[in-house]
Copies of this chain bind each other. A is one copy, B any other.
């Protein structure tokens, strides 16, 4: 398009943004209006995208990091012919595909859910990494960011990662409209403040007037031709641009334009320009292919092996069998044992350094491109990326997470390194799967099985060695459990997983010597949980004792309850969990101090079996 057409298209996007928000009675038209010219030029002259075929491997990828500017995105979709005016005006209504913040669950052209600020750029980095190092494709990743969100540290994790990786297929468009939600941003219209920062992280930067369509056009061309560096286009814009009542004014964030009719007239009225977006050239859809034959590592019963070791070895084997499996780690691959994968498949291994948000974001971006990512760090440090994991579930992204060094059982390093809240965090993620193996063979099976599940999958592993109790041939279906001790004389059921499963077995042996038969269930699938087995145990033994190396809230004990929340009779319950703030001590001392070792289990079980209230 030429200058005049681009200007017209920008105005149309503004008008449609105003109309959509007016129809909804809510939304963010002013945040859309500032970026309308940036979007118009991109759509008309630079984006390569086949709206008929969102899966086209040559498609550029567009990420609206400032997700609240969804009216602009949907107006652009309309201009591209992807949706009609009638649908545009369903914005934010029940059942509409056009949500307040865009999600790929509803719209095929949306790469990732946004709306939590500072996530679009890191996820864009993940897509760009996939383009460079996995897909080996020429697509570009365009990320439209707000200026407010540049305060988020995750943006600078992304800037660091992209600069270091020379991601010249990544272009960040910064819509510097000077106004955040509640008032001016830190740097206002000081474009150089942003440019300095991005340049320091080894980006190419271009500063422009974001309402000068020719300048925008030139900037995009310059970005596209820049080699070995990502580009940040820093565009001075005005929030609410084009309407006197809204332009550059405070206090209008997230509100429909008051007099929409007047605003539309001031913007030159409703238009119906259509953009023929460049269709990408034919492109290959390249996915590495494995040898197809999964040979998981095997251990003999009685071996002493850490489940983290089993994780690393199984993941390396899975990577050999399946070419689409990739691994990421937050600079602790020697601890999580992701290093085993790194050594075997260096081309599919991504060192994310100590930047857990960027690591999860990269996994989400790669999953969007069809890869099967496994991202690992200490379970404790996954909390750093909680918001990214939450948003991954909003996206419906299929990602595998591994948290190692779970619980007090790590020993001397102390509470900062102990994953004690991870089960609560991951269980509350919508559609998640939470697995917690107790031996090496079980771990290996679950690593393979989780690859093909939907949504966020989490595997919790342990630092120390534990005894192999399962045969390598044993199956561990997600949603299942294993009954390891059972008799028709059982007076209670002990439910455990991971390190406490071994303590539970020892406790059951001790109880047996006292004449108290105890059932033991290995609840390796914490979510979904094996309701049938738990219900049977409740009916047959009357009471359940749960033991977990985790805080008492939100973990294994709560998971067990899932089997009894439909109004049926509930068994008597005792929960053993970590209730204190640990210090440094040996693993055995830690388990004892937390009251989750065999001795503590046996003591509680005796009281429970005698039907006493446990003090």
Q: Which residues of A contact B (CB under 8 A)?
A: 24, 26-27, 67, 91-96, 98-101, 103, 105-106, 113-118, 148-149, 151-157, 160, 164, 180-182, 185-186, 196-197, 199-201, 331-335, 339, 353-355, 357-358, 380-381, 383-384, 386-387, 390-391, 393-394, 396, 411-417, 420-421, 424-425, 427-431, 527, 543, 551-555, 557-559, 561, 564-575, 580-581, 583-586, 589, 593, 607-608, 611-615
Contacts and interface: CB of A to CB of B under 8 A. Distances in A.
Nearest to A610: B567
Contacts of A181: 331-332, 334-335
B380 A148 contact: no
B553 A558 contact: yes
20 contacts: A95-B583, A96-B584, A100-B584, A101-B414, A103-B415, A113-B415, A151-B354, A153-B153, A153-B154, A181-B332, A181-B335, A182-B332, A197-B201, A380-B390, A393-B581, A427-B553, A431-B581, A554-B558, A561-B573, A570-B570
A568 B572 contact: yes
Given A551-B428, A554-B427, A574 B584 contact: no
Contact of A353 (B185, B393, B527): B185
A567 B67 CA distance: 49
Nearest to A152: B354
Q: What are the 8 A-B residue pairs with the smallest beta carbon separation, nearest first?
A: A153-B153, A115-B416, A554-B554, A200-B200, A156-B156, A94-B585, A424-B428, A386-B386
Contacts of A584: 91-94, 96, 98-100
Contact of A568 (B394, B414, B613): B613
Contact of A152 (B153, B383, B416, B568): B153
B151 A567 contact: no
Contacts of A201: 197
A106 B182 contact: no
A571 to B, nearest CB: 7
A8 to B, nearest CB: 30
A114 to B, nearest CB: 7
Contact of A551 (B411, B430, B611): B430
B24 A412 contact: yes
Contacts of A417: 100-101, 115-116
A573 B572 contact: no
Contacts of A570: 564, 570-573
A182 B116 contact: no
A181 B181 CA distance: 40
A384 B381 contact: no
Interface-central residue, A181, A185, A608, A612, by most chain B CB under 10 Å: A181
